[in-house]
Structure 1
């Protein structure tokens, strides 16, 4: 009997992690990371197995994947030949909390009472994954090559580019358990010292190329709230609603950009009379198929695209103080002075990665939203009805021909 142990080292290129919603506290509404019994961030083997199976299914030389990763249906059950023995967290970070809010489908603006937090691990976090394959067949070498090309998106938020990982190391060793030497070594294995050490890849993976890479500049100021107001240096001054930062730099989250794209795409469908749902759960309308959906009576499906966070370059900011207006007197209301931190100038890039092949209608729907952003018909972030959030495309860009959009969207609905 031959047993092969494989160690894969993954590095997270973008912040992310597997969360544990069952431990969510109602007090702070922050989704925590999944952790092991020692309190360390944990990457479940089920998450690894599912992603690895989907990756290997794209390789003709690894088929049928049922004999590698098992099958369970009403007529036949096949155990998985490749086992995920476990994962090991190599970092020391405890996770950081990122606040976000849902986008109102009708207004295209942040929804009220939907502020929540998600705990993520920082980019650069590494995990070791240990696999075992008993009596590997002719697919062993193709499988090892496929591992080197594996680029999983693990955990929550794949559609806004969270948890994107790269394989940075690979090690493997086979044990012939019919020999005394290998059997003795096998019986005395201790994790992690005696397991195959991952060696750096001979050809490191290249970063994926985005399907859309559009440069924008801020025209009318931008305010994306960090989630909680901070106290001013002087206690006599009002609280300041700080703009969102990542590693000290102003950032436009991928979740915000994806929410704007979806909200405006749904608006376009409603305007031209195409089918569109109101709760992003039908799974039938085009926005659901492009941006993903979740439902109670059917399986959820992730988006076809991932929209990455975008750091604002050459950013300048200022504090703007406002006061609420009394609806009855028309004058300023007492004790309702507040201050927003606004990014008044800067540039950022909208990067969209295709997680599945995009058809022409998918691209046309994205293009019409980009056009509306450029024309100032829709804004980004908060206070868009008060002049903020206007941006303009500055990269080379061809305005799409939208004369057939209505017919194509309605034609698809009829089909």
Structure 2
């Protein structure tokens, strides 16, 4: 170091690769601005000139960096990558050769409002205080992504391009979520199409093409890009890296055994009933959904009940579902390793039910306590898919999730509100359980056409050992 500055080698850029893509949101997304002064507790980040959502380049780069590290080395591994430069802790780390631009939504912001509240696991009622609401971008919102990879004379081009393809492959497959509450189903997205330009900076004509690409002040001389649905095709690269992430996937198809009511905090119109089931817009149409936050809360409370029944040991629940800062200042918050996605319910019927509160003293109707609710009812075609993923699963944790799946399957674990009057019961139809360890998949399936028919089990002999491992862990 000299004069307070770090001596760095100047990069001799010999090639530039520009990649564009169209990012489409599959579920509502929260891109929080961090501004506390707003109509809601968490408001969307907006462009200062237009009423459009702003997706920061730093957020995209951070998500890509994290995905690349986990894909190549597994969860919790140390990063080894040339694509994103040195670590933050390394003061003399190299600059990232990848430039990630901010992205604006193509259309003006379309907001979806969600309310959330914390439920006490003992009383099963809302806890005082922790109620909040947030703004979400509607599903279907599109962003134009822009990446520029700088190749200098000293870097290995093949390695950089391969790492970029792996990272962008995560966006293409919908495995990278953006925004907050990603592990509760928000922020899922995918890329529809890739466009790639390659410019040889040692060639004067190619430099002119790069200078005039997407510039308002000049005519573009750039050639047509390589276009592909797959980033491998667009970048003309062969990916040989293997996915080293250990994960458990549970994908289960359910139907509704009873009406379902997850309260929506925002009425669709002034003439709506007092309580309406939660709906979210998909392809311009409102669809009833089971939110990831509601399902995760239900699963956590039942997991606590199971563990407390065997032996009071809440550590396993906190290891799976995460924990907040406790009363002990030395305790650290834990992020959830369980990803619970939002589910759209297909083919339902909305019916309004009138209810009235009863005065327990007189046994008559309580004055002024008439209200109506609009749950969703099932028909023969009603079904929805629940998707759950657990990262770095242990045998005992898998056993706990299998017990939760069993309770959902049999209708013993209701979802949503007003479960005390028989709502929220589910009936399982088909489930696929995939355990990926050491780059190998072990798949088990469970099917049941109707509640009266017996289960059809395929490759489920090994599932019993996970439940046994749970019992042994909790007892110890």
Q: TM-score range by the shorter chain?
A: 0.7 to 0.9
Measure how far apart 1:173 and its partner are.
3.7
Q: Work out which of the residue numbers 392, 399, 404 in structure 1 matches 2:427.
A: 392
CA distance in 1, matches of 2:303, 2:374: 29
2:271 aligned with 1:241: no
DSSP-derived class of the 2:82 partner: helix
- Contact 1:102–1:259 (8 Å) recurs in 2: no
Q: Of Structure 1 and Structure 2, which has the larger fraction of its residues in strand? A: 2
2:115 aligned with 1:100: yes
Q: Residue deviations 1:284-343, cap 9 Å, x none?
A: x22222223444867655433322222223322321111223354443221121101122
1:305 to 1:197, Cα distance in 2 relative to 1, 3 A: farther
Measure how far apart 1:344 and its partner are.
2.9
Provide the residue aligned with 2:444 in structure 1.
Answer: none
Measure how far apart 1:43 and its partner are.
1.2
Within 5 Å, give how 1:214-233 maps onto structure 2.
214-229=252-267
Within 5 Å, give how 1:323-402 maps onto structure 2.
323-346=356-379, 347-354=382-389, 356-395=391-430, 396=447, 401=464
Within 5 Å, give how 1:107-146 maps onto structure 2.
107=122, 109=124, 111=126, 114=131, 116-123=133-140, 125-135=142-152, 136-138=155-157, 139-146=159-166
- Contact 1:103–1:263 (8 Å) recurs in 2: no
CA distance in 1, matches of 2:331, 2:149: 34
Provide the residue aligned with 2:434 in structure 1.
Answer: none
- Contact 1:101–1:111 (8 Å) recurs in 2: no
- Contact 1:148–1:170 (8 Å) recurs in 2: no
CA distance in 2, matches of 1:160, 1:85: 26
Q: Residue deviations 1:230-266, cap 9 Å, x none?
A: 6675xxxx94312122332222222211221122112
Provide the residue aligned with 1:281 in structure 2.
Answer: none
DSSP-derived class of the 1:159 partner: helix
Q: After superposing the two structures, state which structure 1 stretch, 241-250 or 42-51, moved more.
A: 241-250
2:196 aligned with 1:161: no
Gapped regions of structure 2 (runs ≥ 5): 1-12, 233-246, 431-446, 448-454
Provide the residue aligned with 1:35 in structure 2.
Answer: 46
- Contact 2:115–2:134 (8 Å) recurs in 1: yes
Q: Work out which of the residue numbers 15, 30, 49 in structure 1 matches 2:61.
A: 49
1:337 to 1:115, Cα distance in 2 relative to 1, 3 A: farther
- Contact 1:317–1:343 (8 Å) recurs in 2: yes
What TM-score, normalized by structure 1, do the two folds share? 0.80
Provide the residue aligned with 2:468 in structure 1.
Answer: 404
1:162 to 1:231, Cα distance in 2 relative to 1, 3 A: closer
CA distance in 2, matches of 1:15, 1:65: 32
CA distance in 1, matches of 2:124, 2:350: 21
CA distance in 1, matches of 2:397, 2:256: 26
CA distance in 1, matches of 2:92, 2:305: 46
Provide the residue aligned with 1:280 in structure 2.
Answer: none
Provide the residue aligned with 1:282 in structure 2.
Answer: none
- Contact 2:338–2:388 (8 Å) recurs in 1: yes
- Contact 1:19–1:34 (8 Å) recurs in 2: yes
- Contact 1:303–1:355 (8 Å) recurs in 2: no
1:30 to 1:127, Cα distance in 2 relative to 1, 3 A: farther
Provide the residue aligned with 1:322 in structure 2.
Answer: 355
Taking only aligned residues, the RMSD between alpha carbons, in angstroms, comes to: 3.5
- Contact 2:260–2:425 (8 Å) recurs in 1: yes
- Contact 2:41–2:133 (8 Å) recurs in 1: yes
1:352 to 1:303, Cα distance in 2 relative to 1, 3 A: farther
Q: After superposing the two structures, state which structure 1 stretch, 402-411 or 214-223, moved more.
A: 402-411
Gapped regions of structure 1 (runs ≥ 5): 277-284
CA distance in 1, matches of 2:229, 2:288: 36
Provide the residue aligned with 1:2 in structure 2.
Answer: 14
DSSP-derived class of the 2:427 partner: strand
DSSP-derived class of the 1:92 partner: coil
Aligned residues: 394
